[in-house]
Structures are given as structure tokens and as C-alpha cells.
């Protein structure tokens, strides 16, 4: 801003250039803060609403799940497989040579507690839901899951072993609340 454009006022009105610049700057800055504050509700309205958030986590009580039993829970509209693995299944999963895996991952990197495997039950090939949650299901030669759509076979760590799927069953974010409850999401 140019001071020369204004009449050189003196006296009590105090046309001190530096003070006027300061005032202008303060006003402009405060205005910007105001604009930003008004913008935020608009932007934030696009974020997940409360009803959506209410469904974003799923708490599961694991105490009724016996060793060797598998249960399916729904999390964000997707099935999540929870497998209470018996020791021999854990052993089988841990002994696998990483070299023979298509998507190499250690079993210990896929679980928080070795006896509980938690994976998203959606085949990484074309999104079908693999079989193996029931004792009577065909679990395939690796004792994990078998996808009936195109024959992808997963092991007891949910890792892809045979068939067209490119990747292991995804591990959702979860945390143990206590020894027998987990919170997924």
C-alpha cells in the first residue's frame, strides 16, 4: 500500500504508517483465520459421518471361540475370518520356507498372538469369499482356506499357496482389548 496516495494527515488521528500497516495486516490475518474457520465445517462435512463412524470398528468377544474353531465377523461390510489356531496349525504356518511363497511374509508378521489369526475373508484374486470357516468345508491341501471360484488355496496363515490369487489374505488393523476381546478397525 502506498502512503503517498493519502493526504498527509497529522495530529491526533495518528496516520503513523507503520501502525497503519500493522493494523491492516492484523485485520487481514484475522479475516483469513475467519475464512479458514468457515471453510473447515464445509470440508469436514465430507468426512465420515457419525453413523458411518459407528460402524467403523467391530469388537469381538473371543472367549466362546474354542481352539480349532473359526468364526466370521463383519467389519465395514466385509467378512473377517478369526481362527483360533491349534498348536499344530501354528507350527505348520511357522515352518514354511519363505522361498516357496508367492507373497513372502512370516507368520509372526501376520498375527498379534500366535493362536489368533485375523484376516479379511476376501480372496485377493477376484474378491470371492473362500471356504474353510466350517469344519465340513473343503480347506484345501494346506489346511487353510479354499476359494471355490477359481481354486486359490491359502494356508493356515492365510497366505496364498496355489491358484491365481496374487497376494495373501489381508490382515485388518486390530488390537487386543483384553486377552479375550479384540477391536477390529
Partner 1 sequence: MRKFALALAGAAALTVGAAQAADEPSLPKVTWPNDGVFGTFDRASLQRGFQIYKEVCSNCHALQHLHYRDLGPGGPGGGIGFTDEEVKALAEQAQVTDGPNDQGEMFQRPGRPYDPIARPFPNEQAARAANNGALPPDLSLITKAREGGARYVFALLQGYTDPPPDMKMGTGMNYNLYFPGHQIAMPQPLSDGQVTFSDGTPNTLTQEAYDIAAFLTWAAEPTLEVRHRMGTKVFLFLLVLTGLFYVVKRKVWAEVH
Partner 2 sequence: MAAAPAKQKSKLVGWIDHRLPIFSFMEHELNEYPTPRNLNYWWNYGSLAGIMLVIMIASGIFLAMAYTPHKDMAFDSVERIMRDVNYGWLLRYIHMNGASMFFVVTYIHIFRGLYFGSYKEPRELLWIIGVVILLTMMATAFMGYVLPWGQMSYWGATVITNLFSAIPLVGDWIVTLLWGGFTVDNPTLNRFFSLHYLLPFVIVGIVVLHLIALHQHGSNNPLGIDRKGPQDSIPFHPYYTVKDLFGLCVFLLVYAAFVFYAPNLLGDPANYIPANPLQTPAEIVPEWYFLPFYAILRSVPNILFIPAKLAGVLAMFGAIGVLFILPWLDRSRVRSATFRPLYKWFFWVLVLDCLVLGYVGANRPEGMFLVLGRIATLWYFFHFLILVPLLGVFERPRPLPTSISSAVLKGAAAPAMEK
CA-based R_g, the chain, Å: 30
Q: Which of 20, 65, 69, 76 binds partner 2 (CB under 8 A)?
A: 76
* Piece in contact with partner 2 (CB under 8 A), picked from 4-12, 23-31, 45-53, 80-88: 45-53
Choose among partner 1, partner 2, none what residue 48 binds, the Cβ cut-off being 5 to 8 Å by kind: partner 2
Contact between 151 and partner 1 per CB under 8 A:
yes
Nearest distance, CB of residue 125 and partner 1, angstroms: 11
Size of the site for partner 2 (CB under 8 A): 17
- Name residue 155's beta-bridge partners: 143
CA neighbor of 154 nearest in space, from 103, 138, 146: 146
For residue 39, how many C-alpha atoms fall within 13 Å in the half-sphere facing its CB? 6
Q: Please say if 150 is a catalytic residue.
A: yes
Contact between 49 and partner 2 per CB under 8 A:
yes
Residues 80-139 within binding reach of partner 1 (CB under 8 A): 138
* Piece in contact with partner 1 (CB under 8 A), picked from 52-60, 78-86, 104-112, 144-152: 144-152
CB 125 within 8 A of CB 183: no
CB 76 within 8 A of CB 53: no
Indicate the SS3 state at residue 24. Answer: helix
* Piece in contact with partner 2 (CB under 8 A), picked from 6-14, 32-40, 41-49, 108-116: 41-49
CA neighbor of 137 nearest in space, from 128, 129, 146: 146
Cα–Cα distances in angstroms (integers) from residue 152 to residues 62, 76, 118, in the given order: 28, 24, 19
Q: Which residues contact partner 1 (rule: CB under 8 A)?
A: 138, 148-151
Q: Which residues bind partner 2 (CB under 8 A)?
A: 43, 46-49, 52, 56, 76-79, 122, 126-129, 185
Active site residues: 150
Amino acid at each position: 500500500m502506498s502512503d503517498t496516495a493519502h493526504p498527509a494527515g497529522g495530529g491526533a488521528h495518528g496516520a503513523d504508517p507503520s501502525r497503519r500497516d500493522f493494523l491492516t495486516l492484523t485485520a487481514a490475518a484475522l479475516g483469513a483465520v475467519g475464512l479458514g474457520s468457515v471453510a473447515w465445517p464445509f470440508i469436514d462435512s465430507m468426512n465420515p459421518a457419525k453413523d458411518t463412524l459407528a460402524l467403523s470398528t467391530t469388537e469381538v468377544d473371543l472367549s466362546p471361540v474354542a481352539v480349532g474353531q473359526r468364526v466370521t465377523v463383519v467389519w465395514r461390510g466385509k467378512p473377517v475370518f478369526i481362527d483360533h489356531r491349534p498348536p499344530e496349525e501354528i507350527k505348520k504356518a511357522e515352518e514354511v520356507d519363505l522361498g516357496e511363497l508367492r507373497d513372502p511374509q512370516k507368520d509372526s508378521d501376520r498375527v498379534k498372538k500366535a493362536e489368533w489369526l485375523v484376516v479379511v475373508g476376501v480372496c485377493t484374486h477376484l474378491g470371492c469369499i473362500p471356504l474353510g470357516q466350517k469344519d465340513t468345508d473343503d480347506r484345501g491341501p494346506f489346511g487353510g482356506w479354499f476359494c471355490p471360484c477359481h481354486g486359490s488355496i491359502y494356508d493356515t496363515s492365510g497366505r496364498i499357496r496355489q491358484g491365481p490369487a496374487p497376494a495373501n489374505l489381508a490382515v485388518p488393523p486390530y488390537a487386543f482389548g483384553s486377552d479375550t476381546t479384540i477391536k477390529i478397525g
